[in-house]
Structure 1
């Protein structure tokens, strides 16, 4: 089932980029959007309303080309806001710039939250910084079905106040320069240029995908997820701190993780999962050394110790591995990859290890 497409245009004082983009899509035989939204300034709102709605340029495009109209009204023209909630009239200061970036980011996060839609972002209008932030925000939040484009218009017609799209009939306008030469809108050339972009959505916290976030927060979060792997183990607090984020584990799971890292540090072979009905006594002894680092000797009579009295069993090994990986993935999403317990080699010789180098790992002291 195809997804409903939303066209989101970033416009300043040239709302005609909306109809130009629609025309280019139509000419290419692409699916036209079911709804159109505009992000702009206070003056841009007035221009879009007066030209596309009051003056009827958008309706005229659909009529001229005998196409069904997209959902669009004044409520679809969104004025970006300053930090205090007032309308943004222009981008003249650092605070205006930050407010614009945050506003664009939040709108794109919102539109990409709906799994049943495909978002097409056009960055042809507005100031260059508006287009930059729209493209960057789509890189942060965009999904595989989303699209980024820029519309290219022949120089004589570009930003012309009387040109909105190539008409299917002859219509004369006059050059927007001192020559005032006559131009026929029927002859205008309009091309849609798709812009490839890197999708970083997998690097964001679920909290940033689901809740309001500023541009700077989103960038910092993605950067953290893409940065080099760093792991700190805090046995006292029973935590792994991976990519700067705490991952809470049970004492048994944390001990299992420490046990794997300890074997790696000592240059021992990565362990294999014990066979059915053949618990491994050496594994159990090594594991319990790590377990007692966390629980102390008082934990020597608990259920975990009792389960290992005949050695480490296959179910014990597999449960620990599965629970740890699940906790890492839930907390870190795709950034969890370097911290996971990973299999290597074919059965029945599969071994399990954590693909981190010793210099990437630190262990907090267990006592003062």
Structure 2
């Protein structure tokens, strides 16, 4: 069976994206495409190709891969009778500097930050579509570009996505006139000024395993634009040791370093149970529906007043709890709090949730007392 007659991957989704970082060697696009679509077992043929590169890298990609004079991308498709693959100039994504101008090269810390954010956002956007499969190649570009692309795929990638590096046999590696092994004889001059036949070249795809952290990412980062730093912080919050900082003046908590703003009712609720945990008090039993608990109401209202301050309006809440806290109030506020934590922290929310255990079921925060602090975060920083 010839290479272009090998069976296709029948489980691959309809939208398949080859995403590559490239620098001054756009050949990695055709080399990777050859390895996937011609040599792969089963063959994986992308439906579209996207590049991330610098201004000079974009020029090289346009001239060598897409121009009418060279057209190496179209030549590969024609030589191996591949189905149409969408790849136009609009799919060459040029990195930008802090002012929005095309980035000539990545040389400064600010350039690195910009590249990381733009790579992360592109990966997040492509992986947000459940009908896509992404194959990311880190073979080209600056080492930092490959690092950021691989890290972004670890943060947002799904089980079906792939990460790879392509290798080319000597003497074809880093030879400008080599783009893929041709199905016919083509003699070129290599970088060391020797002659070689591209039909004899070998291309090897090294697949790189990665750990997917997507399941622990907050919904807000998965669904909206996110920076590299924000995504990394979210992953750390989900994996690191829990720490709960409660700041009533800013009406927020810091959960593992991640800020979560909460309405006064929710902030008072977690503050109430966190303070009990901090002083070693037992978990709170959920009040019975027909027997409101005055002690729970008094402790909760004390925290609520601390949140809203002397000028705040507590009348509505105090009226509702005048006869004590009932089960409906307790469970309603707990549910709303969990919803906010889920949206902000993803799986990293678990230590900060108000979960119950034992019989009868007692409720409290998951973090230990020594991991809780009530501070004015503005002064603490």
Report TM bin, short chain.
Answer: 0.7 to 0.9
Match of 1:62 in 2: 77
Q: After superposition, where does 1:273-288 map in structure 2 within 5 Å? A: 273-275=286-288, 277-280=290-293, 282-284=295-297, 286-288=299-301
Residue of structure 1 in register with 2:8 after alignment: none
Q: Which residue of 1 aligns with 2:3?
A: none
**Structure 2, gaps ≥5 residues long:** 1-11, 377-381
> Which segments of 5 or more consecutive residues in structure 1 lack a partner in the other structure?
none
Q: CA RMSD in A?
A: 3.5
Deviates more, 1:15-24 or 1:305-314: 305-314
Q: Take 2:311 and 2:97, find their aligned partners in 1: how far apart are those partners?
A: 58
Within 1, Cα distance between the matches of 2:114 and 2:304? 50
Per-residue CA shift, 1:122-165, capped at 9, x if unaligned? 11112322222222333344344432211122232222233222
- 2:367 is matched with 356
- 1:175-210 CA-partner distances (Å, limit 9, x unpaired): 4425x2544x33332222222233445446826852
Quick one: distance in 1 between partners of 2:344 and 2:99? 33
- Could you say which residue in structure 2 is the equivalent of 1:9? 20
Distance 1:267 1:170, change over 3 A: same
* Aligned equivalents of 1:94, 1:286: Cα separation in 2: 49
* Aligned counterpart, 1:152: 167
Which of residues 24, 37, 48 is equivalent to 2:35? Answer: 24
Matching residue of 2:271 = 258
Aligned to 1:37: 50
Greater shift in the superposed pair: 118-127 or 299-308: 299-308
Contact 2:26 2:65 in 1 (8 A): yes
Return 83-92 or 33-42, whichever deviates more: 83-92
Helix, strand or coil at the partner of 1:256: helix
Q: Is the 8 A contact 2:287 2:330 kept in 1?
A: yes
Alignment partners' CA distance in 1, 2:207 and 2:356: 40
Residue 49 of structure 1 corresponds to 62
* Cα separation, 2, equivalents of 1:300 and 1:97: 48
Q: 1:135 aligns with which of 131, 142, 150?
A: 150
Q: CA deviation at 1:3?
A: 4.9
Q: Number of residue pairs matched? A: 359
Within 5 Å, which residues of 2 pair with 1:230-249?
230-235=243-248, 239-242=252-255, 243-249=257-263
Shift of residue 35, structure 1, vs aligned partner: 0.8
- Give the structure 1 partner of residue 346 of structure 2: 333
Task: Give the match's secondary structure for 2:77.
Answer: helix
Pairs within 5 Å for 1:101-250: 101-178=116-193, 180=194, 182-183=196-197, 185-201=198-214, 202-203=216-217, 206=220, 210-211=224-225, 213=227, 215-216=228-229, 218-219=231-232, 222-223=235-236, 226-235=239-248, 239-242=252-255, 243-250=257-264
Instruction: Call closer, same or farther: CA 1:302–1:24 in 2, change over 3 Å.
Output: same
How much does 1:109 deviate? 3.9
Q: Secondary structure at the match of 1:2?
A: coil
Q: TM-score, normalised by structure 2?
A: 0.78
Alignment CA distance shift 1:15-1:307 (3 Å): same
Change (3 A) 1:116 1:301: closer
1:342 to 355, 366, 372: 355
Distance in 1 (alpha carbons) for counterparts of 2:351 and 2:137: 36
Distance 2:160 2:109 in 1: 33
For the Cα contact (< 8 Å) 2:273–2:364, is it kept in 1? yes
Q: Offset at 1:33?
A: 1.1
The 1:75–1:358 alpha-carbon spacing in structure 2 relative to 1, beyond 3 Å, is: same
For 1:236 and 1:46, how far apart are their aligned partners in 2?
A: 53
Deviation at 1:355, TM superposition (A): 1.3
Following superposition, the deviation at residue 340 of structure 1 comes to: 0.8
Q: 2:53–2:141: 8 Å Cα contact kept in structure 1?
A: yes
Structure-2 change in CA distance of 1:83 and 1:294 (3 Å): closer
Q: Deviations over 1:280-309 (max 9, x none)?
A: 455445545545655789999945445445
